[in-house]
Amino acid sequence: MSGPAAPSGLRAFLGFLLLSGLGWLCDMLTYTALVRLAGMAPFGANVVSSYVGVSFVWFTSLGMVFRRSGAGAGRFLALYWCYQFVSIMAYSQLLQMVAALLADRTGVAALHGALAAKIVVTPFNLVTNFLFMKTLTRFMRAA
């Protein structure tokens, strides 16, 4: 007997979007604290804070959006984190460049440029994360 099928298309994306929004809040609060309080550069702060956010999204959306069980999910989590490493490195580099560009071209303070860069980069990251997780969960057992 199998559990309910995973929502498809727009409904799955909207569920993922909602949970990713919460994950993004965790990410953004961590990122802001690391940049503002710890004085970290945007690249390093984004690496740490992104893992906070993507881990939250993995654990919440696995069952709620993709209807997959936690049994045997450890190896898939390892694949997800490996993908996220590559993704986070790429998006962190992009974020660093956008933050520098904003600071240089607009004269905004470094912190504001770093936060604005995070906001600009996030939608692209969200879509690629959804597509990867949707593909990965197809190989997992239904809840």
| CA-closest candidate to residue 115, choices 67, 46, 56 | 46
91: pLDDT strictly greater than 50: yes
Q: What is the pTM of this model?
A: 0.74
Count of residues making up the chain: 143
Q: What is the pLDDT of residues 39-71, one digit of tens each?
A: 998 888 988 998 999 999 998 998 889 888 766
Which carries the bigger pLDDT value, residue 96 or residue 39?
39
Coil vs helix vs strand at 70? coil
Residue 138 is given by DSSP the state T
